[in-house]
Amino acid sequence: MAAKTNSGNVDRSNLIPFSSRLKEGKALAQDVWSIFAAANLPADCINLGQGYMNFAPPVWVTKAAEEALHSVAPNHYSHPRGRIRLREAIKSFYGPQLNRDLDVESEILVTSGANEGQYSVFTAFLEQGDEVIMFEPFFDQYLPSVTFNGGKPVYVPLHPPTDSKIKSSSNEWTLDIAELRRAITPRTKMIIVNTPHNPVGKVFTKQELEAIASLAEEFNLLYDCLVFDGKEHVRIANLPGMWDRTVTAFAATGWRIGWLIGPASIIQPTLAASTRIVFCSNSPLQEAACHWKFFENQLSEYAERRKVLCDAFDEIGLKYTLPEGSYFVLLDISEVKFPEDYPFPKSVLGRGRDFRSFYCDEHANIGEAYARFAFCKDVDTLKKAVERLRRLKEYM
Ligand SMILES: Cc1ncc(COP(=O)(O)O)c(C=O)c1O
């Protein structure tokens, strides 16, 4: 029965109780991405907090998008598996890396971003109370995606470098395999492996992945992107016995186009879930995504961007983690003292140290020293940002 207000009228603001699942997985908390979205920030703000590119895709890609919008077929539903040209493009890029002749009918699924792909895997495979291990800091969407599907998150932290030197490497964030072993229970269903890791930039080594693989009775989700300094990006699916347990995810984020690659035994049930959740993904942009030359020429550009930012941190004298992969740098801001009266925009007031969002409450202190900087921005923007960041010295 609806509550009565003081004036005796029925309070109509909460007539219909919402589902209790929204009370789990921090789903009701405002997500950091919305808080720090451009719309909430002053116009002259340079946002290095979010990992979006501030430059347009290459012209041949936008041209392909335009052509797709002007033709008939791509403006309708695509097959729930994804448009065949995109599946063929994914096959030719990933097949050699996975040493497989991928079957475009049963081993590749186009999704509405990595998020929807992962959500569909959880829907397809989790039973109520199944446990999903995630390494902290974790990408925040994993948590509600797991709990909405009845899963129970189990957290295993990556341990930050303990040495007090200025620059540490992302591979100094370590996984304690004994701790991981202790976290596994008979209810464990999955381990989410995110490599190169967002936000740490860690590229899990072959040894680490072999140790995880040997513990795995479950399948894993991988996030695939950029690896610097010639560091080898080992695909867990390539380790002995792991193809059948692994689903690899990747995406062109803003377009809400992503894809999953894995054995038919994982992809087919996931297709059933994804078909009922979104039916299919943005069709015209799938056609354009076929023309994306997956990361060609990007490494040197990203290495330059990383250098602009990290040189500035060296100069300021703040500790940071040099990423071996991804486009994020973790800066230790524990020595930065925010003045009480610093004019933070109202929308982000009190959120100066939001890195805690990537940990469970119990482990939040592990990450409280850090802020994440994204360098997927053009060099001029990064240089402008660096000019402003130099002023951090005044607050140390
Ligand atoms: C580790 C990780 N997983 C999942 C996602 C979600 O990807 P998408 O935006 O394609 O849904 C992201 C996006 O940045 C991410 O960094």
Nearest residue to 200 (alpha-carbon basis) of 330, 42, 288 = 330
What is the chain's percent helix, strand, coil content, to nearest 5?
40, 15, 45
Q: Is 113 in the pocket of ligand 1 (CB under 6 A)?
A: yes
In the predicted model, residues of the chain with pLDDT beneath 70 are 1-8, 39, 217-231, 293-297, 351-354
Write the DSSP assignment of 242-281 as a string of letters.
Answer: -GGGEEEEEEEGGGTEEEEE--HHHHHHHHHHHHHHTSS-
Q: Is 251 in the pocket of ligand 1 (CB under 6 A)?
A: yes
Given this model, what pLDDT does residue 181 score?
Answer: 93
Q: For a substitution probing ligand 1, which of 52, 110, 111, 198 has the most ligand atoms within 8 Å of its CB?
A: 198
Please state, as a whole number, how many other Cβ atoms lie within 10 Å of the Cβ of residue 122.
Answer: 24
| Burial zone of 382 (CB within 10 Å; 0-12 exposed, 13-18 middle, 19+ buried) | buried
- List the CATH code of the domain at 73-289: 3.40.640.10
CA–centroid distance, 7 to ligand 1, in Å, is 48
Given this model, what pLDDT does residue 296 score?
Answer: 57
Given this model, what pLDDT does residue 34 score?
Answer: 78
**Please, are residues 333 and 369 in contact by the beta-carbon 8 Å criterion?**
yes
Domain residue extents for the chain:
20-57+297-395, 73-289
Q: Fold for 20-57+297-395, please state it.
A: Aspartate Aminotransferase, domain 1 (3.90.1150)
Which residue lies with its CA nearest to atom 2 of ligand 1?
139
Strands 320-322, 131-136: pairing is: unpaired
Q: Is 253 in the pocket of ligand 1 (CB under 6 A)?
A: yes
**Number of the ligand 1 atom closest to the C-alpha atom of 250:** 10
Angle at alpha carbon of residue 110, lines to 105 and 111, rounded to 5°? 140
Q: What is the dihedral of CA 149, 139, 39, 318, to 10 degrees?
A: 160
Query: Could you check whether the bond before residue 74 is cis, i.e. omega within 30 degrees of 0?
Result: no
Element (H, E) at 192: strand 188-192
Tokens of 4: 């009565």
Given this model, what pLDDT does residue 227 score?
Answer: 58
Residue with tokens 């539903």: 77
DSSP class of 367 = G
Rounded to the nearest 5°, which phi and psi values hold at 221?
-105, 130
Q: Is 223 in the pocket of ligand 1 (CB under 6 A)?
A: yes
**Number of the ligand 1 atom closest to the C-alpha atom of 51:** 14
Please state, as a whole number, how many other Cβ atoms lie within 10 Å of the Cβ of residue 190.
Answer: 26
Residue with tokens 């049963």: 106
Which residue lies with its CA nearest to atom 15 of ligand 1?
139
Q: Which amino acid appears at position 129 of this protein?
A: G
Q: Is 115 in the pocket of ligand 1 (CB under 6 A)?
A: yes
Which residue lies with its CA nearest to atom 16 of ligand 1?
198
Q: Specify the 3-state DSSP secondary structure of 325.
A: strand
Q: Specify the 3-state DSSP secondary structure of 372.
A: strand
Rounded to the nearest 5°, which phi and psi values hold at 273?
-70, -50
Nearest residue to 354 (alpha-carbon basis) of 99, 89, 34, 83 = 34
Q: Is 198 in the pocket of ligand 1 (CB under 6 A)?
A: yes
Tokens of 258: 């992503």
Given this model, what pLDDT does residue 248 score?
Answer: 85
